Amino acid sequence: MSQAKKRKVPMRKCVVTGESHPKKDLIRIVRTPEGTIEIDPTGKKNGRGAYISLDPELAIQAEKKNVFNRTFEMEIDKEFYQELYRFLDHQKARKELL
């Protein structure tokens, strides 16, 4: 009998709640070298990254508390938070379907 090799699950911390979760349960937000803020579903874009849990409510909290403004040390417009909310809402709905 061969031993099933246990893979180390990469953990990341949600910038809103401060809780650690497996990386695949979070979504990466990145500040690109050009200075734009983007949602990074692949987790591979160049730039400074921060993670948020797949909960649309956290996008609202992040906007209220200016979490990404502090994390990325720049002003982030409301459109980004709205886009993030829609993205997280869609991801959560997809996850519930599967």
- Dump the DSSP string for 6-57: PPPPPEEEBTTT--EEEGGGEEEEEE-TTS-EEEETTS--SSEEEEEES-HH
Residue 23, domain extent: 11-97
Per-residue pLDDT of the chain (98 residues; tens, 9 = 90+): 455 678 888 999 999 999 999 999 999 999 999 999 999 999 999 999 999 999 999 999 999 999 999 999 999 999 999 999 999 999 988 888 87
pLDDT for the residue 95: 82
Q: Is residue 58 part of a domain?
A: yes
pLDDT for the residue 96: 83
Number of domains in the chain: 1
Sign of torsion over alpha carbons 94, 95, 97, 98: positive
pLDDT for the residue 61: 96
pLDDT for the residue 69: 96
Q: Is residue 5 part of a domain?
A: no
Dig out the tokens for 46 from the structure.
């160049």
Report the CATH number at residue 79: 3.30.1230.10
Kindly report the number of other CB atoms within 10 A of residue 26's CB atom: 21
pTM, entire model: 0.87
Q: Is residue 4 part of a domain?
A: no
In angstroms, how far is CA 78 from the centroid of its own chain? 17
Q: Is residue 2 part of a domain?
A: no
pLDDT for the residue 32: 96
